[in-house]
Structure 1
Amino acid sequence: MKILVTGGAGFIGSHVVEQLQQAGHTPIIFDDLSHGMREHISEGIELIVADVRNKAALEASFARHSFSAVIHLAAQTLVPDSLEYPVMDCRINLEGILNVLECCRKYHVRHVLFSSSAAVYGDNLNIPLQETESLLPTSPYGITKMTTEHYLRIYHELYGIDATVFRFANVYGERQGEKGEGGVVSIFCKLLSQGKPITVFGNGEQTRDFIYAGDIARAIVAALPLKGYHTINVSTGKETSLNELIHAFEFAVGHKFDVIYEKPRPGDILHSVLNNDNLMKYLKIKPNMELAQGIRKTYHWYVGK
């Protein structure tokens, strides 16, 4: 199948494109390179350099190709930026998806697969969080993700476009964080590669659900045949404390290092984990990357880049 991947030169997008190729599909990348990088793209893959807000450029790509599906990853992904620049966040995330959906409607593309986020749940402590939980996002970023989910549902109900919504847990992996897509793993990679200590806010017993980008990509590719409207958490379903993450980094680095514990930051969530039963129900897969191995791969990539 010929698949359009918006944001395909970015962190998660580049993993998705790799696995699409391995599965025998033909990915076409649509990316403005504000966060993505040409170096992430294998030779021979078509790259359209444009912003998803540019409807003319987007429509031209639909007119030139006959896409079987769109994997929509292009987005403004930074919560702090959404707080400071909510209009910009809204335009990229909502105008972008509407342009994609209108092109799908006009050119009869039957399936849109969308990268949502655990941010739609807000500060919900009813963990592990299931897809049926009520949504109460606490940032403009989370609001745009939640709103996009509703647009996808409506376009499915009104126009018959199949839609698969993926709510990602804490994603990590190679190629993360070079242009603002960072998380705690990429922050630790940068500091440790420079021989600097790492800082933990709190006692390190706060937990997150760390999911490897390759497992994210595997889920997205596996969902291409799905029909209907589905919402799927993509997560390990396991809580990992920051202290356990530090132990994984010690294995990756090969020695212990200095850790500075400071006071907890106001507003930080203490525990976060997503239920992943729907991964098995709809896609028949479970994440298979063990944390220690994934952190080792990520750290060695970071040091060698």
Structure 2
Amino acid sequence: MKVLLTGGAGFIGSHIADHLLAAGHDVTIIDNLSSGRLSNMPEGVKFHEMDIRSDDVAELWAQEKFDTMVHFAAQINVRSSVEDPKNDADINIIGILNLLEAGRRHGLKRVVFAGSGGAAFDDNVPFPTPETQPALPMSQYGIAKITSEHYLRMYRAAYGINYTVMRIGNAYGPRQNPHGEAGVFAIFSVKMLAGETPAINGTGLQTRDYVFCEDLARLCVLALENMNDRIYHAGTSRETNVVELYETIRKEVGADIEAEFQPAKAGEVMRSCLDCSRAKEELGWEAQVMLEEGVAKTVDFFRRRKDNPDAR
């Protein structure tokens, strides 16, 4: 397949690039490098520094005739979406519309979209939460992601563009961005390795379904090979609270640092855990990397990056 990968210089996107290349696909990345890094990308991809909202997207598509899009570029910070919802909607809604419009005019046949399982629901749902549960997001970020799902459904009906949505839990792993507030694994790891004190928002008893980046990359390739206009939850179906996560990372780092507790942030749910049985039944996928192994790999990466800023 001739794949346009958006956000491929970023955390999850760069791992997807690795797996797409390994599967034999022709991969072109567009990324505005607002949070991505050139060093994250593997050799063998084509790269254009480009914003997904740019008119240049249509020109590139007209030249390259991509038949496939893997869309992972996004504004990913729930708290930022609450503070600046217009910016969130501009990137996460206008961005996908710009891509879909360019694609439908120039041969786009299939899309894999990075949705959000962690932000799709409120706390009044069954846990683990299945795809059949009606979405009720509690943040502007979550609303934008669900809105994008509706656009994909509409473009399938109107233009015949197939799609798969990966509703991702809380992703973590090597290459995660430790800056800002959207990557707790990276933030905790980097701060502890530097001897600094990380902050926990709220009680720390809020739970998340943490899923390792390599597992998500495997699911993405399976989704491309089994395109079926479906939504798949992508997690481990296990809940871990933030205090438990903090202690697991602290043990791996070997740090003796107590966390600092801060007030809870607006827009965040108390629990999140995804039922991922549909992906197992229909695609043969399930998460393979459990928390302790994933923490070890993540901490090892940030240790290496201390010595080599371009480590992959």
Normalized against structure 1, the TM-score is what?
Answer: 0.92
Q: Is it true that 1:239 corresponds to 2:239 in the alignment?
A: yes
What is the match of residue 80 of structure 2? 81
What is the match of residue 252 of structure 1? 252
Superposition pairs for residues 177-216 of structure 1, below 5 Å?
177-180=177-180, 182-201=182-201, 204-216=204-216
| Residue aligned with 2:120, SS | helix
Q: Is it true that 1:93 corresponds to 2:83 in the alignment?
A: no
What is the match of residue 67 of structure 1? 66
| Residue aligned with 2:144, SS | helix
Deviation of the 1:184 alpha carbon: 1.9
Deviation of the 1:26 alpha carbon: 1.8
Decide whether aligned partners of structure 1 residues 124 and 168 sit closer, same or farther in structure 2, where only a CA change above 3 A counts: farther
Decide whether aligned partners of structure 1 residues 258 and 149 sit closer, same or farther in structure 2, where only a CA change above 3 A counts: same
Q: Partners in 1 of 2:69 and 2:203 — Cα distance?
A: 42
Q: Partners in 2 of 1:273 and 1:135 — Cα distance?
A: 14
Q: Partners in 1 of 2:142 and 2:36 — Cα distance?
A: 21
Q: Partners in 1 of 2:248 and 2:15 — Cα distance?
A: 22
Q: Partners in 2 of 1:201 and 1:106 — Cα distance?
A: 45
Runs of 5+ consecutive residues of structure 2 not aligned to the other structure: 306-312
What is the match of residue 217 of structure 1? 217
What is the match of residue 227 of structure 1? 227
Do 1:176 and 1:182's aligned partners in 2 also have CA atoms closer than 8 Å? no
Q: Partners in 1 of 2:261 and 2:290 — Cα distance?
A: 28
Matched letter for residue 98 of structure 2: N
Deviates more, 1:23-32 or 1:77-86: 77-86
Superposition pairs for residues 128-167 of structure 1, below 5 Å?
128-167=128-167
What is the match of residue 114 of structure 1? 113
Q: Partners in 1 of 2:83 and 2:206 — Cα distance?
A: 27
Deviation of the 1:126 alpha carbon: 2.1
What is the match of residue 7 of structure 2? 7
Deviation of the 1:205 alpha carbon: 4.2
Superposition pairs for residues 11-50 of structure 1, below 5 Å?
11-50=11-50
Decide whether aligned partners of structure 1 residues 111 and 180 sit closer, same or farther in structure 2, where only a CA change above 3 A counts: farther
Q: Partners in 2 of 1:185 and 1:178 — Cα distance?
A: 8
Do 2:7 and 2:73's aligned partners in 1 also have CA atoms closer than 8 Å? yes
CA deviations over 1:152-178 (Å, ceiling 9, x no partner): 001111211101111110111111124
Decide whether aligned partners of structure 1 residues 14 and 155 sit closer, same or farther in structure 2, where only a CA change above 3 A counts: same
Deviates more, 1:131-140 or 1:237-246: 237-246
Q: Partners in 2 of 1:23 and 1:285 — Cα distance?
A: 16
Decide whether aligned partners of structure 1 residues 241 and 92 sit closer, same or farther in structure 2, where only a CA change above 3 A counts: closer
Deviation of the 1:68 alpha carbon: 2.9
Decide whether aligned partners of structure 1 residues 181 and 165 sit closer, same or farther in structure 2, where only a CA change above 3 A counts: farther
| Residue aligned with 1:47, SS | strand
Q: Partners in 2 of 1:126 and 1:249 — Cα distance?
A: 28
Query: Identical aligned pairs, as a percentage?
Result: 37
Runs of 5+ consecutive residues of structure 1 not aligned to the other structure: none
Normalized against structure 2, the TM-score is what?
Answer: 0.90
Q: Partners in 2 of 1:138 and 1:281 — Cα distance?
A: 29
Q: Figure out how many residues of one structure are paired with residues of the other and give that number.
A: 303
Q: Tell me the C-alpha RMSD between the 2 structures.
A: 2.0
